[in-house]
Amino acid sequence: MPLVNTTEMFKKAYTGGYAIGAFNVNNMEIVQGITEACSELKAPVILQVSAGARKYANHTYLTKLVEAAVIENPDIPIALHLDHGPSYELCKDCIDGGFTSVMFDGSSKPYEENVEEARKVAQYAHKYNVTVEAELGQLAGIEDEVSVDADKAHFTDPAQVQDFVTRTGVDSLAIAIGTSHGAYKFKPGQKPQLRFDILKEVAERLPGFPIVLHGASSVIPEFVQQINQYGGQMPDAIGIPEEMLREAAKMAVCKINVDSDLRLAMTATIRKYFAENPSHFDPRQYLGPARTAIKNMVEHKINVVLGCAGKA
């Protein structure tokens, strides 16, 4: 099947009590590892490209890699999504360039500016059957070229969501309930917590409407341990516990964003490989196992966190 937008995926996910994995892609091995896992488990998937990924790998290379994945995995729905689009112009560029879904991220802007620009993006996107995600509330951590200090982050105000969605016409909404971008989501000794009360209130105010969780990597401890064992320095890296993500997926959360866990899988595998094979220098020798580690990690997520196996 051709690239799809997120409408059907989210409709089924909402009613089925599961979530779609949205994985950030930056190169061929990442695209292959993710889609091989999804294909084997018959899971729908969103491949997302950040502004930084687009700068790094180039729009054409990334879209062609994703198109290749669509050809190689014809049995599963795949959406190509812009992650954290900072402006109308970038969203338009991606819509014109073949993306089937875009996020306009106006979460750091004043409310009325966020509304106005998201509305403009949705109006343009919908002419081309492209779905739009927007964000209310602000996550801590580093997202594409924007670094948000923990003290500047704030939870989504449920009282705003109805007004925002009605006035903008967006198709899904990312909310801030305690997740954050990157590998250091909680302080050591701090008990990981998410504001499920906010998620519940948002869902009550927007019945049937798909909610998105950014910053949702589990920062898988085995990878962190392996990185540290083989020369890395990532002390105190902590993510969102898997059972909390599963809980969110059973509620209104239809899209769970994962980038850090892909980075950790790849880095842990390559560090170990180099330590054990110091004389090797063919990139295929270490990128191959890194791709397999990504595939295994994504399969685990589909089974344990997302619950979307067999939903293609």
Backbone φ and ψ of 99, nearest 5°: -70, 150
Q: What letters, b where the CB count within 10 A reaches 16 and e where it falls short, cover 273-298?
A: beeeeeeeeeeeebbebbbbbbbebb
Q: Report in angstroms how near the CB of residue 216 gets to Zn ion at its nearest.
A: 8
Report the partner that residue 52 touches, choosing among ligand G3H, Zn ion, ligand 13P, none (CB closer than 5 to 8 A by kind): ligand G3H
Stretch that binds ligand 13P, among 93-101, 227-235, 253-261, 277-285 (CB under 6 A): 253-261
Interaxial angle between packed helices 260-276 and 28-41, expressed in degrees from 0 to 180 and rounded to the nearest 10: 110
Q: What is the C-alpha to C-alpha distance for residues 21 and 301, in angstroms, rounded to an integer? A: 8
Regarding beta strands 146-148 and 211-213, do their DSSP bridges make them parallel or antiparallel, or are they unpaired? unpaired
Sequence length of the chain is 312
Q: Is 144 among the residues that bind ligand G3H (CB under 6 A)? A: yes
Q: Is 84 among the residues that bind ligand G3H (CB under 6 A)? A: yes
Q: Which CB sits closer to ligand G3H, 41 or 106? A: 106
Among 83, 144, 259, 261, the one annotated catalytic: 83
The token pair at 149 is 């200090």
Q: Which of 20, 34, 46, 53 binds ligand G3H (CB under 6 A)?
A: 53
Q: Which CB sits closer to ligand G3H, 99 or 273? A: 99
Q: Is 255 among the residues that bind ligand G3H (CB under 6 A)? A: no
Write the CB contacts of 34 (distance below 8 Å, at least 6 apart in sequence): 21, 23, 25, 45, 47, 262, 294, 295, 298
Q: Report in angstroms how near the CB of residue 2 gets to ligand G3H at its nearest.
A: 26
Stretch that binds ligand G3H, among 3-11, 50-58, 155-163, 228-236 (CB under 6 A): 50-58
Q: What is the C-alpha to C-alpha distance for residues 170 and 214, in angstroms, rounded to an integer? A: 17
Q: What letters, b where the CB count within 10 A reaches 16 and e where it falls short, cover 27-43?
A: bbbbbbbbbbbbbebeb
Q: Which CB sits closer to ligand 13P, 114 or 260? A: 260
Query: Which residue's Cβ has the minimum distance to Zn ion?
Result: 214
Contacts (CB under 5 A) with Zn ion, residues 175-214: 214
# binding residues, ligand 13P (CB under 6 A): 14
Measuring CA to CA, how many Å separate 296 from each of 56, 161, 202, 272, 300? 25, 37, 33, 16, 6
Residue 6 carries which DSSP code?
A: S
Contacts (CB under 6 A) with ligand 13P, residues 12-41: 24
Annotation marks residue 259 as catalytic: no
Report the partner that residue 216 touches, choosing among Zn ion, ligand G3H, ligand 13P, none (CB closer than 5 to 8 A by kind): ligand 13P
Binding site for ligand G3H (CB under 6 A): 24, 50, 52-53, 83-84, 143-144, 181, 259
Catalytic residue annotation = 83
Binding site for ligand 13P (CB under 6 A): 24, 83-84, 181-182, 214-217, 257-261
